[in-house]
Chain A
Amino acid sequence: MTAYNTVNSRAPRLDAPAKATGSAVYIDDIRLPNMLYGAILHSPLAHARIHHIDTSKAERLPGVKSVVTSKDAGLIRYGVSPARYDETLFCHDKVRYVGDEVAAVAAIDLETAMEALSLIKVEYEELPFVLTMEEAIAEGAPLVHDEYLRNIGAEVHHEFGDVEAGMAECDLIRTDTFRNKRQDGAFIEPQGCIAEYDASGHLTLRSSTQSPHYVQRTIAMVLGVPVGKIRVIKPYVGGGFGPKVAANAMEMAACLMSMKTGRPVKMGFTREEVFLHSRARHQFVHKLTTGVKKDGTIMALKNECYLEGGAYSSFGIATIYYAGSLLGGPYRLKNMKYDGYRVYTNKPACGAQRGHGGVVARAAWEQQLDCLAEELGMDPVELRLKNMMESGDVSCNALKMNSLGMRECIEAVRDGSGWSEKKGKLPNGKGIGMSCGFFVSGAGFPIYRSDTYHATVSIHVAEDGGTVHVYTASAEIGQGSDTAFAMIAAETIGIPLDSVRISSGDTEFGIDLGAYSSRQTVMTGHATKEAAVDVRRQILGVLARELKVDIHEMDIKNGIVIFKHGGVDYGGLRARYIKEHRGWQGLARGKEPFTFQEAARIAYLARGTIIGKGKYKPGDLGGTHKGAAVGTSPAYGCSAQVVEASVDMETGKITIEKMTDAHDCGFAINRTSVEGQMQGSLSMGLGEALFEEVKFDDKGRVLNSNLGEYKIATSLDMPNVTPIIVESHEPYGPFGAKEVGEGAIMPTIPAILNAVYDATGIRFRELPLTPERVFMALRKKKEKSE
C-alpha cells in the first residue's frame, strides 16, 4: 500500500468556508457598472408559423436599449452534436414548442425589459402539433422539422455478436416494456449569465455553465466572433447535473445584445424558464428481450428504445447511443442488439442528465434480470455474480474493463445490508431489492470531432515558493472537482494542501471540456498530475544542478525536500534565501530541513517563473463501429445497491427506509466527496423513481414548472445511505481514480423497483411510483385475487 499525505483523505473542501458564509459568488450575485437587464420572448404556441414580428413599439419604450430577433442574430444553425445542428438563436420560420425563443430585449432594468416583451407583436399561424411519441411517429403526423419523416430525428441500429443464435441457446426468454417520465434537473440555482463586450472588441461571458469550452465555441460559431476574442468565466455554480453543459440561447442573446449596446447585459432564467430551456432527462420507452440459460447465464439482449426528445436534438444524439451502448455492462454478454429512435415532439428539448442515456435502460433491465432470476429460482445476487465482468474483460461492444470491482461491490452490499437474512423473509408491505450499475469515466471523444486535448492544466509556482497555483478551465459545479485537483497537485508535488490555490472554470486557463460524462477526475486529474510532475521535475532539476545531487536522490514530502542519502550541504542556498528575506519571521534556519519554499525560490532565480504544464487525451479506446465514440471511455465505474422499502398497502405510499450502496470509484481522491456524490446520486434516483415527472397540458404547456409541484426528494424522503467505497485501482486513472458523479445514480431506480416488488408482488413498468399509481395497482391485484 502506498502511503499518501493528501489524496484518499477526508480533507474539507476548499470552497466550503466561502459557501458556508454566503461569500461565494454565483452569477446572480454579480453586478457590473452600467449593466443592462435582458429578457426573452417565448412562443405561446406549441407549433406555429411566424408571419411577422413587429418590435417597433418595444424599441420605442423608454429604457429599452436593444431588441433582437433572428434578423439581428442571423440564421447560423447550432446544437450540441454537429451531426444535428437544428437550432438557430431565435426562431425565424416557425416556433416548435411553448417557450421557443422568438426575440430578446435589453433594458435599464428588468421591469422595463419585461414590459418591452409585452409590446412585441408576433403574427403566428397555428400549426397542428405532436406532444407524445406515439402521436409523433404516426403516419401523416405534423412534422416538427420538415426533413425528418415521422419525426424520427435520429436512429441507431447496432448488433454485436449474433442475437438470434444466442436466443436459440436459451432456456428462458422474456420481453418487458418499461417507461419513465420526462425529468427536470431541478438544480437549486437557475441559469444566469452576464455578457460584457468591451471597446476593444473582446467578449466576456460569465455564465452558470458546466462547460465554458463548449459555450465559448458555440458563441464563436453562432455570432461569428473569433474564439480568441471570447472569454467564458464560470463563477460558482449552484448545481448542474447535465442540463447546464450545452450553450443556451440566453447566453448567446446576452452576448449579441452586449455587442450591440456596448454595455454589459445580465440575464437569468426564472424557475419556469429552467423547465422550458434546461434540457434534462428524456422520456424513454425500452422494450427489452433477454434470454438466459437454466444456470442463469445471460446469453442475449434485444433492446428497442424510443426517446421523446422535444423540439430540438441538443445532446440527444449522444443520449440515444448511450441508451444502447452502456446497457450490456457490467455483465458478460456476448450478443446484444440495439435499435434506438429519437423522436421530435412539440415540447421543450431534452438533453443530458446525470447517468446520461443509461438510467432508464438500467432500471428496465435490472428489473427484468430480477424477473428472470425469480423464474429460474435463483437469488438475484447470485444471478449477477454469475454474469458480471471482471478486470480485463472486454464487452461485446468493445468497452475495455481495465479495472472493475463489480464483485467487491455486489458482495459489499449483500453483506452490508444483511441481504441473506432479509431477502424473501420480510413481511407483506416490506421489501428488499438490489441492482448493479455501470457508467463511463468520461466520454472518450469530444462532442465535436477533434483530436483536441480534453484537458490542459498549468501550475504556476509563486516566485516566493510558498504556494502553487493550479489553473484549469474545468468546471466546479458543486461536485468538488477543485478540491480534488488541488489534492492531486499537493500530493504529486509533495506539499501540504494549504499551499495550493486553484482557479478554475475560465477559458483563459486552458482547454477543458467541462463537467459532463463523469470525466473531470480522470481527465483533468491526469492533466493536473502531469503539470505537478513537471513542477516537481523543474524545481528538483535546479536543485540537482545547484547542489550536485542526482535528481533521483531527492524527494519532496509535506513541503520538505528529502535528500535520500543525507549529507547534502544546502547552507549556501539557504543563505541566499535568508538574504532575500531580511526581517522576515519564520524562515527555516541552520540545520533545519530544506523547504519546498526555499527550493522553489532558488528554481525561480535560476529559470524565471516556474510553470508546470499538463495535458490529457485518451489513448486508443477500441471500437470501430459507427457510434463507437459514445460509450467508449478510458475507464468504467460500477456499483451495486440494496434498497429496503415499505409500502403502505392501503394508500400506496412508498417509504424508502434504507439504502446500502457500494461504488467502485477506482481510488477515492477525497473520500468525503465520493460519499457525497453517492448520497446525492441516490437522492436524485429516489426522486426519479418516486415522484419526478414534468407534466404538460394538451396545448404543450408545462403544468408543474415549479419546485412545489415538481417534487424532488426532501430531507424527509431520503433515508440514510450506507456508502461503501470500493477501490479497484484503475491503471489509467490518476492515482487509480475513476468516476462516481454520474454512475452512482444507476442502481437506485431498479433497486427500488425490485424492493417494491418484494413488498407488494407487483412489477411496475412505468415511473414514477406515485401513491396513486401504486394504489391503483394494489387495488387491481386485490380485485384479481378476490
Chain B
Amino acid sequence: MKTLINLKINGKPYELAVEPNKTLVDLLRYDLELTGTKKGCGTGECGSCTVILNGKPVNSCLVLAMQANGAEILTIEGLKPPVGLHPLQQAFVDKGAIQCGYCTPGMILSASSFLKKNPSPSEQEIREALSGNLCRCTGYQKIVEAVQSVSVGQENDGRSKPRSTTFCEANKND
C-alpha cells in the first residue's frame, strides 16, 4: 500500500505516493529522474548515493522514502547555481578530481556539507569527512586538493573563482 509523503527536494515541494519499501535513492533516481545521485552498492557502503537530508549527508540507499517525509533534501542537481558551477564543482573540474565520475556527486555533497560545518579544515579533517565516500579511480589526492582549494583562507589558483563568501551564497538553498 502506498503512503503519501511531502518533502522538499532542491527547494521544490513534492507530494508523492510511495511504497513502504521504496528507498530514497530509488525514489530520486527512478521516480523523479534525478539521476545525478548514483547507486553503487545499495547497502550504504560506497557513499555514491550521498544526498543532504535536513543539512546532513546520508546514504540515500539506507533511507526509506517514507522516512524522508517532511524532510528537505539537496541532491547534486540542486547544488549547481543557475549560472556556472558551484565552487566545489568548479574546484573538482579544475583540480582533476574527477575521473570516472561515479563517486563525484556524492563526494561533492559530502564535502559541501562538511565545509559548512568546518569551513577551514585541515587535510586530515577533510580525509576523515570523505572517508565514507569510496573512489576507485583517483587515489583521493586531487579530491582532497579540490576541497582544500575552496576552504576559507585558501588562496585560489585563479581558475576556481569564488572564495568563502560565494561558497556560502551558492549554498543558500540547502
Point out residues on A near B: beta carbons under 8 Å: 10, 12-13, 15-26, 28-29, 31, 185-190, 236-239, 241, 270-271, 477-480, 672-673, 675-676, 679-684, 706-708, 712-716, 718, 720-721
Given A238-B101, A680-B99, output 4 extra A-B contacts at Cβ < 8 Å: A236-B100, A270-B42, A676-B138, A714-B131
Q: Decide if B77 touches A25 in the complex (CB within 8 Å).
A: no
Known: A16-B92, A21-B76, A22-B35. A271 touches B41 (CB 8 A): yes
| Set B85, B105, B127, B137: member contacting A716, Cβ < 8 A | B127
Do the beta carbons of A718 and B136 come within 8 Å of each other? no
Q: If the complex has contacts A22-B77, A478-B137, A720-B141, are A708 and B39 also in contact, measured as CB distance less than 8 A?
A: no
Chain A to chain B: the 9 pairs with minimum beta-carbon distance, closest first: A22-B36, A478-B100, A19-B101, A238-B102, A679-B139, A22-B76, A683-B139, A672-B96, A29-B35
A188 touches B40 (CB 8 A): yes
CB-CB under 8 A from B7, the residues of chain A are: none
CB of B89 within 8 A of CB of A21, answer yes
0/1 per residue, B23-43, Cβ < 8 Å to A?
A: 000000110011111111111
Say yes or no: B131 contacts A715, CB within 8 Å. Answer: yes
Q: Using Cβ atoms and an 8 Å threshold, which residues of chain A touch B101?
A: 15-16, 18-20, 24, 236, 238, 478
B108 at the interface (CB under 8 A from A): yes
- Contacts A26-B38, A29-B35; A20 near B98 (Cβ below 8 A): yes
Residues of A with C-beta under 8 A to B126 = 715
> Does B143 sit within 8 A of A, measured CB to CB?
yes
How long is the Cα–Cα vector from A28 to B34 in the complex, in angstroms?
A: 12
State whether B100 touches A187 (Cβ < 8 A).
Answer: yes
Q: How far is the CB of A743 from chain B (nearest CB, A)?
A: 15
Quick check: is B93 within 8 A (CB to CB) of the other chain? yes
Docked complex Cα distance between A190 and B100 (Å): 13
Name the B residues within 8 Å of A10 (CB-CB): 96
| Contact present for B144 and A715 (CB under 8 Å) | yes
Asked whether A17 lies within 8 Å of B140 as measured between CB atoms, the reply is: no
User: A236-B101, A676-B96 given as contacts; is B139 within 8 A of A682 (CB)?
Assistant: yes
Q: Interface on B for A, CB 8 Å cutoff? A: 29-30, 33-46, 48, 75-77, 79-80, 85, 89-90, 92-96, 98-105, 108, 126-128, 130-144
Cβ of B39 and Cβ of A28 under 8 Å apart?
Answer: yes
Assess whether B98 is in contact with A708, with CB atoms less than 8 Å apart. Answer: no
Given A25-B35, A29-B35, A238-B101: A13 and B43 interface contact (C-beta under 8 Å): no
Q: Which residue of B lies closest to A190 (CB)?
A: B40
Q: How far is the CA of A545 from the CA of B97 in the complex (A)?
A: 47
In the complex with contacts A29-B35, A706-B45, A718-B139 CB distance below 8 A: yes
Give the distance in Å from the alpha carbon of A720 to the alpha carbon of B138 in the complex: 11
Chain A residue with Cβ nearest B89 = A20
A16 x B98 contact (CB < 8 A): yes
**In the docked arrangement, what's the CA distance between A23 and B108, Å?**
14
- Note all chain A residues with C-beta closer than 8 A to B39: 28
Q: Could you say which of B36, B37, B136, B142 contacts A21, with CB atoms under 8 Å apart?
A: B36
Q: Which residues of A contact B100 (CB under 8 A)?
A: 19, 187-189, 236-239, 477-478
A22→B75 CA distance, assembly (Å): 9
The minimal Cβ–Cβ distance linking A564 to chain B, given in whole angstroms, is 34
If the complex has contacts A21-B80, A714-B134, are A188 and B38 also in contact, measured as CB distance less than 8 A?
Answer: yes
A712-B134 contact, Cβ under 8 Å, with A21-B85, A22-B36: yes
Indicate the member of A16, A185, A682, A713 with the most B CB atoms within 10 Å: A16
Distance, CA A477 to CA B99, complexed state (A) = 8
Chain A residue at minimum C-beta to C-beta distance from B127: A715
Q: Which B residues are in CB contact (< 8 Å) with A679?
A: 138-142
Query: Is the CB–CB distance between B98 and A19 below 8 Å?
Result: yes
Nearest opposing residue in chain B for A722, CB measure: B141
| Residues of A close to B143: CB separation below 8 A | 715
> Complex: how many Å from CA A548 to CA B141?
54
**B77 and A239 contacting across the interface, CB-CB below 8 Å:** no
Complex CA distance for A708 and B45, rounded to whole angstroms: 6
Q: How far is the CA of A740 from the CA of B142 in the complex (A)?
A: 17
> Is A676 a contact partner of B142 (Cβ separation < 8 A)?
yes
Contacts of A716 in B (CB 8 A): 127-128, 131
Q: B140, A684: Cβ atoms under 8 Å? A: no
Q: A19-B104, A21-B36 are in contact. Are A707 and B41 (CB under 8 A)?
A: yes
Decide: A675 and B96 in contact? CB cutoff 8 A.
Answer: yes
Report the bound CA distance from A659 to B42 in whole Å.
33
Give Cα A238 to B101, complex, Å: 6
In the complex, chain A residues whose CB is within 8 Å of the CB of B138: 676, 679-680, 683
User: What are the residues of chain B within 8 A of A676 when measuring CB–CB?
Assistant: 96, 99, 137-139, 142
User: Which chain B residue lies CB-closest to A719?
Assistant: B141
Q: Does B94 contact A12, Cβ atoms closer than 8 Å?
A: yes
- Asked whether A241 and B43 contact (CB < 8 A) given A25-B35, A676-B99, the answer is no
**B77→A188 contact, CB < 8 A:** no
A671 to B32, CA, bound (A): 39
CA distance A26 to B75 in the complex (A): 17
Best-buried of B42, B79, B138 by chain A (most CB within 10 Å): B138
16 A-B pairs whose Cβ atoms sit less than 8 Å apart in the complex? A15-B101, A19-B100, A20-B93, A20-B104, A21-B79, A185-B136, A188-B48, A238-B38, A238-B100, A477-B100, A676-B137, A676-B138, A707-B43, A708-B45, A715-B130, A716-B131
Q: How far is the CA of A479 from the CA of B101 in the complex (A)?
A: 10
A270 to chain B: which residues have CB within 8 Å? Answer: 42
CA distance A186 to B134 in the complex (A): 10
Q: With the chains together, A480 CA to B30 CA distance in Å?
A: 28
In the bound complex, residues from chain A placing their C-beta under 8 Å from that of B133 are 715
A contact residues around B80 at 8 Å (CB): 21
Report if A13-B93 is in contact (Cβ < 8 Å); known contacts: A477-B100, A478-B137, A680-B138: yes
Contacts of B36 in A (CB 8 A): 21-23
Give the residues in chain A near B85, CB-CB below 8 Å: 17, 20-21
Verify A706–B43 contact, CB threshold 8 A.
Answer: yes
Most buried by B among A19, A477, A706: A19
* Closest Cβ–Cβ distance, residue B150 to chain A (whole Å): 13
Complex formed: what's the CA distance from A715 to B98 in Å?
15
In the complex, which residues of chain B have a beta carbon less than 8 angstroms from the beta carbon of A713? 139-140
Which chain A residue shows the least CB distance to B90?
A20
Q: Which residue of B lies closest to A30 (CB)?
A: B35
In the complex, how many angstroms separate the beta carbon of B160 from the nearest chain A beta carbon? 10
Q: Contact: B96 with A17, CB < 8 Å?
A: no
For A22, give its contact among B37, B41, B46, B136 (CB under 8 Å): B37
Report the minimal beta-carbon distance from B101 to chain A, rounded to whole angstroms: 3
**Residue of A21, A22, A707 with highest tally of chain B CB at under 10 A:** A22
Q: How far is the CA of A189 from the CA of B33 in the complex (A)?
A: 18
CA distance A13 to B98 in the complex (A): 8
Cα distance A676–B137 when bound, in Å?
8
A35: min CB distance to chain B, Å = 12
Distance A235 CA – B38 CA, assembled complex (angstroms): 15
Q: Which residue of B lies closest to A674 (CB)?
A: B96
Neighbour of A271 across the interface among B42, B127, B131, B139, CB < 8 A? B42
Residues of A within 8 A of B134 (CB): 188, 707, 712, 714
For the complex, what is the distance from the CA of A57 to the CA of B34, rounded to whole Å? 36
Chain B residue at minimal CB-CB distance from A236: B101
The verdict on A189 contacting B102 (CB below 8 Å), with A25-B35, A680-B139, A712-B136 known, is yes
